[in-house]
């Protein structure tokens, strides 16, 4: 392709990819994949032009190493243990994220376009959720994802919009308009989480609040943040107090599940998780390093059930342990678990280092990036979120988009305010 054409089309495709990725996340079936495809296409066109590679910091290199490790290590362990080869397709997403990562380090995307796409994405989620609950009369909203992931990701978008409120304060005469949009988007995001009904989504909220306080709390704004926190607590308490509250119903059901499990009745959503984790840790004592072949693992569980050491419900979820960390450890061994920890830990460390950056644009993006990793770490405690296409693609693309945006913002910051 003519270098001039490449120089013109790559920025357009890159911006379009970011916009479609965020804006179509909930309202279009597999909407995230279209944005990802545009970004991959842009990166391949860019690489085909043999561009000068961007300057890579130590953090950038570690990020690439984490992505590469998450592809290579679990893939090798899957082949060695003779497990489902379809798993490698999920790991390959990390490999494909590398050229997109390099592209986003070199080709900037307008912050306005990114924030507008996030706004549109979460604003479109709420009407879809309302339609599913009040017109289709579904018990829980799932959008075009599944119930748990719909709740998880709309919460992440709501968290982004909290960061967006800070960014909006820097937008001069358009600040009020942006702030109004983000407040509405936060409400839409929380509504979608509530009607999605996933209890695990709310587990991420307390650590994200801590991340927010680390990033933005100061002596000057302590009073305002305390007021905001009080309003938030009262709002959540009000949602619990509403007649037929979904939050209260789901909370009560979880407590009942725990009580039933303690009474020796594991046949419930929470109880089944406890039982399958107990079986997994028992079997991991035999192969803590290499992990298990799936069929041998199922036989191990069956033996436990036969001996009366484990409830039969554990066999119903033998290939989905509802915990990403345990799942990786069991079926890709300790090396696979370490690769997963690197995929979470390295971005977390390098985003978190910027949480107190002098430049507010950088700090907001660091908050969003840190919150993404923290939230996914919490989600991973009760589900195998990275085993679904929407789960792993959102994590990888959100991290590389936010990382690239943060690097671009840091490069544009005044020298005295660079982190």
Q: What's the pLDDT tens digit per position in 320-345?
A: 899 999 999 999 999 999 999 999 99
Residue 6 has pLDDT above 70, yes or no: no
- H helices of 307-359, in order, are 324-352
CA atoms in the 13 A half-sphere facing the CB of 273: 15
Tokens of 346: 């390295």
Give residue 352's pLDDT band: very low, low, confident or very high (50, 70, 90): very high
Least confident of 18-22, 34-38, 268-272: 268-272
DSSP secondary structure string, 146-198? Answer: -HHHHHHHHHHHHHHHHHHHHHHTTSGGGHHHHHHHHHHHHHHHHHHHHHHT-
The predicted structure's pLDDT at residue 259:
79
Give residue 1's pLDDT band: very low, low, confident or very high (50, 70, 90): low
Give residue 316's pLDDT band: very low, low, confident or very high (50, 70, 90): confident
Question: Residue 119 phi/psi, 5° resolution?
Answer: -60, -50
Burial zone of 226 (CB within 10 Å; 0-12 exposed, 13-18 middle, 19+ buried): exposed
Least confident of 132-136, 186-190, 411-415: 411-415
Contacts of 4 (CB under 8 A, 6+ apart): none
Residue reference for tokens 């700090």: 363
Measured between alpha carbons, how far is 322 from 267 in angstroms, rounded to an integer? 15
Q: What's the pLDDT tens digit per position in 50-83?
A: 887 788 999 999 999 999 999 999 999 999 999 9
Burial zone of 293 (CB within 10 Å; 0-12 exposed, 13-18 middle, 19+ buried): middle
Q: How many CB atoms lie within 10 A of CB 83?
A: 22
Q: What is the mean pLDDT of residues 255-262?
A: 76
DSSP state of 161: H
Least confident of 206-215, 239-248, 287-296, 325-334: 239-248
Tokens of 113: 């376009």
The predicted structure's pLDDT at residue 167:
95
Measured between alpha carbons, how far is 214 from 198 in angstroms, rounded to an integer? 27
Contacts of 200 (CB under 8 A, 6+ apart): 148, 151, 152, 378, 379, 381, 382, 383
Residue reference for tokens 């890709």: 332
Tokens of 289: 């390093």
């Amino acid at each position: 392709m003519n270098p001039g054409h490449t120089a013109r089309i790559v920025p357009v495709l890159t911006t379009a990819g970011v916009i479609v990725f965020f804006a179509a996340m909930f309202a279009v079936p597999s909407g995230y994949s279209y944005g990802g495809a545009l970004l991959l296409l842009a990166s391949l066109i860019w690489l085909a032009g043999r561009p000068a590679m961007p300057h890579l910091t130590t953090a950038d290199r570690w990020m690439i190493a984490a992505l590469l490790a998450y592809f290579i290590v679990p893939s090798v362990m899957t082949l060695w243990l003779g497990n489902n080869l379809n798993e490698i397709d999920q790991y390959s997403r990390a490999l494909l994220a590398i050229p997109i990562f390099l592209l986003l380090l070199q080709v900037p995307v307008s912050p306005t376009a990114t924030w507008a796409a996030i706004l549109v994405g979460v604003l479109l989620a709420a009407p879809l959720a309302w339609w599913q609950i009040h017109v289709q009369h579904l018990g829980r909203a799932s959008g075009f994802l599944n119930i748990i992931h719909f709740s998880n990701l709309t919460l992440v978008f709501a968290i982004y919009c909290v960061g967006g409120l800070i960014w909006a304060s820097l937008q001069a005469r358009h600040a009020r308009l942006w702030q109004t949009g983000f407040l509405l988007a936060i409400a839409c995001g929380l509504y979608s989480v509530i009607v999605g009904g996933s209890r695990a989504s709310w587990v991420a909220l307390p650590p994200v609040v801590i991340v927010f306080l680390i990033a933005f709390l100061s002596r000057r704004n302590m009073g305002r943040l305390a007021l905001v926190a009080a309003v938030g607590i009262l709002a959540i308490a009000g949602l619990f107090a509403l007649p037929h509250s979904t939050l209260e119903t789901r909370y009560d059901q979880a407590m009942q599940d725990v009580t039933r499990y303690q009474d020796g009745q594991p046949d419930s959503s929470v109880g089944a998780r406890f039982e399958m984790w107990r079986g997994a840790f028992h079997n991991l004592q035999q192969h803590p390093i290499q992990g298990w072949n799936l069929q041998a693992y199922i036989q191990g569980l069956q033996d436990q059930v036969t001996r009366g050491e484990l409830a039969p419900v554990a066999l119903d979820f033998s290939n989905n342990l509802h915990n990403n960390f345990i799942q990786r450890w069991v079926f890709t061994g300790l090396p696979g678990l370490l690769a997963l920890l690197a995929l979470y830990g390295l971005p977390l460390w390098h985003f978190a280092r910027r949480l107190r950056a002098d430049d507010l644009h950088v700090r907001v993006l660091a908050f969003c990036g840190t919150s993404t990793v923290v939230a996914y770490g919490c989600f991973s405690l009760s589900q195998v979120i990275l085993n679904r296409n929407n789960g792993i693609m959102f994590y990888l693309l959100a991290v590389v988009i936010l990382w690239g945006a943060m690097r671009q913002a840091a490069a544009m910051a005044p020298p005295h305010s660079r982190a």
